Structure 1
Amino acid sequence: MWLLLAFCSAALLGFYDVFKKKSLAGNAVLPVLGLNTLFSSLIFLPFILISHFRPEWLQHTLFYVPDAGWEVHKFILVKSLIVLSSWTFGYFGMKHLPLTIVGPINATRPVMTLVGALLIFGERLNVYQWIGVLLAIGSFFLLSRSGKKEGIDFTHNKWIAFIVLAAVLGAASGLYDKYLMKQFNNMVIQSWYNIYQFFLMGGVLMFLWWPKRKTSTPFHWNWCISLISVFLSAADFIYFYALSMDGSMISIVSMVRRGSVIVSFLFGAMIFREKNLRSKAIDLLLVLIGMFFLYLGSVLG
């Protein structure tokens, strides 16, 4: 069941990337990110309020948010900082890069998660997992070759560095989720980390964007901005629920969620009319084969 939920989350994440790319086209990044945190907070705020003031309405449902003290909230605040940092780098990178390059780079996150598990949790990689890691590394170098055809130098392009940093922080968040889901209620984590992100982002907008808004890229409203929050919230809800189920494996769930690259790649080709699709498709195929070997290593290892 948890594996099926991971696939559903992956599909929703793919559409999330598409709406994010569409919203950022010619738009100011920080307000788009700020509105995303606002809308995501508004989605979960009713569940927090109802669970506190009328707990009997939700107590036996998946949407119940138990009360928690500072001993829980301090961990959630750390997650908010990690995720918001990842989003900030990711939004800026996605605005300036083709979706067909961003997607495959993000798809290497399971490799980073495995390496993190190796270093932090003392896990050992088996032969299949090592093959998956090497294929992912190889795909990254092939992707840099494809990028050069579009004038994107992976070694000197700051937006590539932003996407890589976003992926690293995203992998760190995934490893942190492995710990959180074993300790705390999944709705407590998802609801409150969105609330904390909104307040953190409010400070960023107030002190960094607002004073310079007239000299930077102007902001304009796009309905796709609201859809970012809807698809992300649904994808994360399913993801956290899957991780909370007995027997779920973060390595497999993380890998399956990166399958969202298929959706974003297809839309990058059909809607955004991006270039060099044949060579990028080969790079993407290598990533997917690598993910398959990670799956084999997780199941057979």
Structure 2
Amino acid sequence: MWLLFGLFSAILLGLYDISKKLALQNNAVIPVLFAATLFSSLLLLPLPILSHFYPNEMKHTLFYVPPIDGRTHFFIFLKSMLVLASWIFGYFSFKHLPITVITPIEATRPLWTLMGAIVLFSEHLSLIQWAGVAITLISFYLFSLVGKKENFHFLHNKWIWFSILASLLGSASGLYDKFLMQHFNRVAVQTYYVIYQVIIMGVILLVLWYPKRKETTPFKWKKSILGISLFVTLADFLYFFALSDPNSMISLLTVVRRSGVVVSFSLGAILFREKNILIKAICLLGVIAGTLLLLLT
């Protein structure tokens, strides 16, 4: 059942990526991200309020937020910092790169998660899994050659590196999520980490963007910003629900969750009419195939 929830989360993440790309076109990144986190927090804010005033009724639902102590808030705050760092790099890359360039990079996240598991938890790879690593890296290299046709030189394009950093930080967040779900209430984690995001983004907005707003891309309100909030909130809710299952495997769930790139790649290719779709699709399939081999023991 947790795999099914992971699959639904993946589909929603694909729609989230499309909404993100639409919202960021000719738009300022920082206020878009602030607005998206603000609306996400408004979607979740009723849960701790209802849980406080109607605890007996809420305890029998999937939406109960129990009281948490300062130690728990600290760990959740770290989660907020990690996710925001990933999102800031990711949002800037989404604004400046074609979505069909970004999605294969995002598809490598399970690889970095597995590498992190090897370093942190001393896990070992089988020969087949090492083959999966090799196929993923080769596909990623071939994809970089495709990027040169569109003047995206991987080693010299800072937005490519922003996307890679976003993927690395996102993988670290995935490893951290497993720890959080083992020790804390999943709804509390999702609710408070989004609330902390709003506070952090509010400071960034006021200190870094607002004083220089007239020197950068102006902010335009777009309905797709609401799509960002809705899809990422639902995707995270299903993801945390799946991850809280004691039988869930973070390595497998990460792969399933990243399958949402197929949705964003396909819809993005149609909506934004991008180039070299067939070659990019082959590279993306190579990344996915290599990632699937990582699951074999």
Compute the TM-score of the two structures, normalised by the length of structure 2: 0.99
Q: Which residue of 2 aligns with 1:281?
A: 281
Which AA in structure 2 matches 1:70? G
1:127 is displaced (CA, Å) by: 2.1
1:290 is displaced (CA, Å) by: 1.1
Q: Is contact 1:93-1:160 (8 Å) kept?
A: yes
1:232-267 per-residue CA deviation (whole Å, 9 max, x = no partner) reads 000000000000012100000001111011101111
Which AA in structure 1 matches 2:162? F
Q: Which residue of 1 aligns with 2:5?
A: 5
Q: Which residue of 2 aligns with 1:251?
A: 251
For the residues of structure 2 that align with 1:127 and 1:34, how far apart are their CA atoms?
Answer: 44
For the residues of structure 2 that align with 1:278 and 1:138, how far apart are their CA atoms?
Answer: 17
For the residues of structure 2 that align with 1:13 and 1:235, how far apart are their CA atoms?
Answer: 6
For the residues of structure 2 that align with 1:262 and 1:221, how far apart are their CA atoms?
Answer: 28
For the residues of structure 1 that align with 2:169 and 2:255, how far apart are their CA atoms?
Answer: 16
Which AA in structure 2 matches 1:24? L
Q: Which residue of 1 aligns with 2:25?
A: 25
Which AA in structure 2 matches 1:52? H
1:53 is displaced (CA, Å) by: 1.6
State the aligned residue count: 297
SS for the counterpart of 1:189 is helix
Q: For 1:36-51, list aligned pairs within 5 A.
A: 36-51=36-51
For the residues of structure 1 that align with 2:57 and 2:208, how far apart are their CA atoms?
Answer: 41
1:106-136 per-residue CA deviation (whole Å, 9 max, x = no partner) reads 0100000000000011111122321221111
For the residues of structure 1 that align with 2:133 and 2:46, how far apart are their CA atoms?
Answer: 42
1:291 is displaced (CA, Å) by: 2.2
Q: Which runs of 5+ in 2 are unaligned?
A: none
Task: Determine whether 1:78 maps to 2:78.
Answer: yes
Which AA in structure 1 matches 2:134? L
Q: Which runs of 5+ in 1 are unaligned?
A: none
Q: Which residue of 2 aligns with 1:89?
A: 89
Q: Which residue of 1 aligns with 2:180?
A: 180
Which AA in structure 1 matches 2:130? W
For the residues of structure 1 that align with 2:239 and 2:127, how far apart are their CA atoms?
Answer: 27
SS for the counterpart of 1:214 is helix
1:34-64 per-residue CA deviation (whole Å, 9 max, x = no partner) reads 0011011111100011111211231111100
1:287 is displaced (CA, Å) by: 1.1
1:132-162 per-residue CA deviation (whole Å, 9 max, x = no partner) reads 2111111111111111010000000000010
SS for the counterpart of 1:271 is helix
SS for the counterpart of 2:218 is coil
Measured on the aligned residues, the alpha-carbon RMSD in Å equals 0.8
For the residues of structure 2 that align with 1:33 and 1:139, how far apart are their CA atoms?
Answer: 31
Which AA in structure 2 matches 1:200? I
For the residues of structure 1 that align with 2:138 and 2:94, how far apart are their CA atoms?
Answer: 22
Q: Is contact 1:255-1:294 (8 Å) kept?
A: no
Q: Which piece of structure 1 moves more, 8-17 or 117-126?
A: 117-126
Percent identity over paired residues:
54
Compute the TM-score of the two structures, normalised by the length of structure 1: 0.97
1:191 is displaced (CA, Å) by: 0.4
Q: For 1:1-301, list aligned pairs within 5 A.
A: 1-295=1-295, 297=296, 301=297
Which AA in structure 1 matches 2:217? T
